């Protein structure tokens, strides 16, 4: 009987940023508590808050005029949509592979989500985007899924040709880039998340970025129903309207600020590890690596490979796990992954917040978007052949070598076996 490639425990979790929490986070949170100021909009130094400092960091990182910190990634998306005037009667194109929050934000803004295929990059297919555009289409949300940059040149060209608002969902791609330009700075608005499993965390939190003064002011007004009461110095040229309570707390902003200071080092380590693995796997038969539109801009915390159409993906996954490398099949009949559109129950059922608060039945909507059973079959085919391995900044060369060896052995053994799933723990 073979011995597994790796017998040492795999101690790397999926919460990369949580594992990096240390003395800087403690120092910044203590600073907030010492000041006894956990709300940003106080009269004593409104521009000297942790939230303001966080916004300044991302203005400089992204090279944009404005950033607004909010209490979550979903809040950022809703603020961006409302800022852009998206609402009842409008359609917004989103990819079939993204967290359900992307679709939910569109519905909460009062618009109808139009779900389209991804391509081999596992990001929105530009051709599918163009084919989905109707006279009701007002915006597109390209999602840089699992840190992989979308094909922003093609998407931007299509959007400009049809007069669409581009709202980048960079929730999973903080620090990524495309042809040297930061993700989140291509669209009219860019949205980020600081949730537990993001590359920078505050537990919860988010950020909206834009170069447009008008869009920024509208986002500010919507993120705080009392925004006009604070002396923010943003100009106040936008007429006020009802808003939400999407403000970020000073404690969350302090944690995100501390985390953001180590982002470049974390990314460098992730990219170095993934580059070594990719190079070593380039000649392995029986697998196909996920194509990356710009490898230099990949956040690099996820390794995805595709198996041939008729391969036994469950057998491959279980063999790889037996070899000591945790992994997951991206799409199967088991865990209902909310990143895959087939599990967006209330979206597919066209169920709004209430019978009268429903974008599909709104009297302002005159389109005919449907979600048939055969929707986005290309996406499901790709996801059904995908194996994902989470990478971690603390992996060393031995860990990377174990991944490569395990994949090589698994590809060789599983491809030579009958197409039946093995029993875990009894690999031949």
Domain residue extents for the chain: 19-262
| pLDDT category of residue 424 using cuts at 50, 70 and 90 | very low
Average pLDDT over residues 260-264: 95
Cα atoms found within 13 Å of the Cα of residue 44, Cβ hemisphere only:
5
Question: What pLDDT score was predicted for residue 423?
Answer: 37
Question: What pLDDT score was predicted for residue 374?
Answer: 96
pLDDT at 302 over 50: yes
* pTM of the entire predicted model: 0.94
Q: Which of 35, 127, 138, 198 is catalytic?
A: 198
Higher pLDDT, 72 or 14: 72
198 is catalytic: yes
| pLDDT category of residue 237 using cuts at 50, 70 and 90 | confident
Q: How far is CA 144 from CA 94, 125, 184, 240, 299, in A?
A: 12, 12, 9, 32, 10
Question: What pLDDT score was predicted for residue 234?
Answer: 61
| Fold entry, domain 19-262 | 3.40.640
Share of residues in the chain with pLDDT > 90 (%): 85
Tokens of 363: 């009297």
Question: What pLDDT score was predicted for residue 334?
Answer: 64
Question: What pLDDT score was predicted for residue 41?
Answer: 82
Question: What pLDDT score was predicted for residue 2?
Answer: 80
pLDDT at 153 over 70: yes
> Phi and psi for 81 in degrees, rounded to 5?
-65, -45
Average pLDDT over residues 138-150: 98
């Amino acid at each position: 009987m073979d011995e597994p490639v790796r017998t040492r425990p795999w101690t790397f979790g999926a919460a990369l940023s949580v594992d990096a929490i240390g003395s800087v986070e403690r120092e910044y949170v203590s600073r907030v508590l010492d000041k006894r100021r956990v709300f940003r909009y106080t009269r004593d130094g409104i521009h000297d808050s942790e939230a303001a400092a966080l916004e300044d960091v991302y203005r400089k990182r992204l090279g944009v005029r404005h950033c607004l910190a909010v209490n979550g990634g979903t809040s950022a998306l809703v603020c961006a949509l409302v800022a852009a005037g998206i609402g009842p009667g409008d359609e917004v194109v989103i990819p079939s592979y993204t967290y359900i929050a992307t679709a939910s934000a569109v519905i909460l803004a009062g618009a109808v989500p139009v779900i389209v295929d991804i391509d081999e990059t596992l990001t929105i297919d530009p051709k599918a985007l163009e084919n989905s555009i109707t006279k009701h289409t007002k915006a597109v949300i390209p999602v840089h899924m699992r840190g992989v940059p979308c094909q922003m040149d093609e998407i931007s060209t299509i959007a400009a040709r049809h007069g669409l608002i581009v709202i980048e969902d960079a929730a999973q791609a903080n620090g990524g880039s495309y042809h040297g330009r930061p993700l989140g700075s291509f669209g009219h608005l860019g949205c980020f998340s600081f949730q537990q499993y993001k590359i920078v965390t505050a537990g919860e939190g988010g950020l909206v970025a834009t170069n447009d003064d008008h869009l920024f002011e509208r986002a500010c007004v919507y993120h705080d129903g009392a925004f006009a009461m604070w002396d923010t110095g943003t100009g106040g040229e936008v007429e006020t309207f009802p808003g939400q309570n999407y403000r970020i707390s000073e404690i969350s902003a302090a944690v995100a600020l501390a985390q953001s200071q180590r982002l470049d080092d974390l990314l460098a380590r992730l990219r170095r590890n993934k580059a070594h693995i990719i190079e070593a796997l380039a000649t392995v038969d029986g697998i196909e690596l996920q194509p990356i539109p710009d490898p230099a801009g990949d956040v690099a915390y996820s390794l995805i490979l595709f198996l041939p159409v008729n391969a036994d993906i469950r057998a491959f996954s279980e063999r790889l796990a037996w070899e000591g490398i945790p992994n997951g099949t991206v799409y199967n009949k088991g865990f209902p992954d909310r990143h895959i559109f087939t599990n967006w129950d209330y979206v597919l059922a066209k169920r709004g917040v209430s019978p009268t608060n429903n974008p599909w039945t709104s009297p302002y909507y005159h389109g005919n978007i449907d979600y048939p059973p055969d929707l986005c079959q290309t996406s499901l085919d790709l996801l059904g052949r995908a194996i994902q391995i989470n990478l971690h900044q603390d992996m060393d060369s031995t860990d990377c070598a174990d991944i490569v060896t395990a994949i090589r052995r698994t590809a060789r053994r599983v491809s030579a076996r009958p197409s039946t799933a093995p029993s875990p723990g009894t690999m031949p």
